[in-house]
Amino acid sequence: MPPIRNLAFVVNDQKAGAPELAATLRVLASEAGVTVKSTSTFPIPLGFLKGQDACCVIGGDGTLLGVAREAAREQVPIIGINRGSLGFLTTFSADEARSQFSALLTGAFQVTYRTMLECSSGPGQQDLALNDVLIKEAVNSRIVRLEVWADDELVTDYYCDGLIFATPTGSTAYNLSAGGPLIHPGANVIAMTPICPHTLSNRSIIFREGVKLSIYNCNAESRLLVAMDGQRDLKVCADSPVEISVAAQLLPLAQRIGYSHFEVVRAKLKWSGGFAERTKS
């Protein structure tokens, strides 16, 4: 990749060690002649990433999710440094960041592009999600009845606690907890997973990239909540379906050279087996 000349830092000051690590990395960047700007404000200021070559996010996956929309719109690669717990998205550890940061500034990283979802719940109610869109009852834990259409074809109606629409990136988040499938991040698809459906045969469905999903509230007494990445809510307009599709924007995500998706999955999900690890010949 080209060298980084303009670098934005987004730092979650609530994560242990994040401010100190950010200070160290900012010094390294400045010594390398890189122009640096930094914020710990969430959501990040409008236009903060404009003109930047990369954005260094120091926090957890939730911190990165809060930057993803702006990074996708500006096509600024995110370098995620984990100071949280799981760290599926913030794949650099603090030690890796310290030891590899000078090389990263010279462009020694690769960029992968992650699918995002575009969701609309009525006029003026649109947003992007990197992980998932959740549709459920807004007020309490009542069951909802939702009718799902894929383009012009009825899929079915669901009696359930809600529906999760996940990207491949988000397949390891709420979707996984609800029994949904793991999806390789290179697949541009949407996974729909019902939460506690009242029909045992209701299972996850994988939809193709170009589909437009329309979700209708079939219970006039229910008020729906549409949550984007678990961080932002969309207002649901009366008589308007919730529409979900694969977004035109992709999120550029910086990863170390030689990054292995399944190595991360094995480590984070603590997969193990009875066979010794083999090296591909």
Report the alpha-carbon distance of residue 214 to residue 235 in Å, rounded: 16
Q: Does a structural domain hold residue 276?
A: no
Residue-level pLDDT at 238: 80
Q: Does a structural domain hold residue 279?
A: no
Residue 175 has pLDDT above 90, yes or no: yes
* 88 and 207 share one domain: no
How far from chain centre, in Å, is Cα 25? 24
Is 95 a residue of the active site?
A: no
Helix pair 94-105, 18-31: axis angle to 10 deg:
20
Asked whether the beta carbons of 128 and 118 are under 8 A apart, the reply is: yes
For 264, the 3-state DSSP assignment is helix
pTM: 0.92
Q: What percent of the chain has pLDDT over 90?
A: 79
Q: Does a structural domain hold residue 278?
A: no
* 140 and 198 share one domain: yes
* 126 and 175 share one domain: yes
Q: What is the CATH number of the domain that holds 224?
A: 2.60.200.30
Residue-level pLDDT at 91: 85
Residue 148 has pLDDT above 60, yes or no: yes
Distance separating the N- and C-terminal Cα atoms of the chain: 28
Residue 281 has pLDDT above 80, yes or no: no
* 142 and 188 share one domain: yes
* 187 and 235 share one domain: yes
* 94 and 216 share one domain: no
Strand 190-195: give its sheet, edge to edge.
205-207, 190-195, 162-166, 132-137, 224-228, 232-234
Each residue of 185-207: pLDDT tens digit? 999 999 999 999 998 889 999 99
In eight-state DSSP terms, residue 92 is: B
Neighbours of 56 (CB within 10 A): 28
Q: Does a structural domain hold residue 204?
A: yes
* 94 and 133 share one domain: no
Name the residue range of residue 69's domain.
Answer: 6-109+256-268
Options 61, 127, 132, 229, the catalytic residue: 61
Residue-level pLDDT at 275: 56
Q: Does a structural domain hold residue 54?
A: yes
Assign 263 a pLDDT band (cuts: 50, 70, 90): confident
Q: Does a structural domain hold residue 1?
A: no
pLDDT higher for 35 or 275? 35
Each residue of 236-260: pLDDT tens digit? 988 889 999 999 999 999 998 888 8
Residue 279 has pLDDT above 70, yes or no: no
Q: Does a structural domain hold residue 274?
A: no
Residue-level pLDDT at 141: 77
Q: If you average pLDDT over every residue of the chain, what do you get?
A: 93
